[in-house]
Amino acid sequence: MTLEKTPTDILLEARDIVAERERWCQGTLAVCHIAVEYESVLGGTRLHEVWNPIDPRDPAAEKWCSVGALNKAAGEVVECIEDYRHPLRRAFAFLTDAAISIIGEVKDYDPVVGCNDNSPEANGYDLEGDDHERVLEMYDRAIRLSKDA
Q: How many CB atoms lie within 10 A of CB 109?
A: 15
- Whole-model pTM: value is 0.86
What is the per-residue pLDDT across 7-32, written as a single tens digit (0 to 9) for each? Answer: 999 999 999 999 999 999 998 999 99
Q: SS3 for 45?
A: strand
- Which of 27-31, 34-38, 105-109, 115-119 tops mean pLDDT? 27-31
What is the per-residue pLDDT across 49-86, written as a single tens digit (0 to 9) for each? Answer: 889 999 999 999 999 999 999 999 999 988 888 888 99
User: Any residues with CB less than 8 A from the CB of 7 and at least 6 apart, and which?
Assistant: 87, 88, 90, 91, 94, 146, 149
Torsion, Cα of 53, 56, 57, 62 (10° steps): 80
Torsion, Cα of 107, 137, 83, 71 (10° steps): 110
- Percent of the chain residues topping a pLDDT of 90: 60
- Any idea where the domains of the chain sit in the sequence? 7-22+66-148
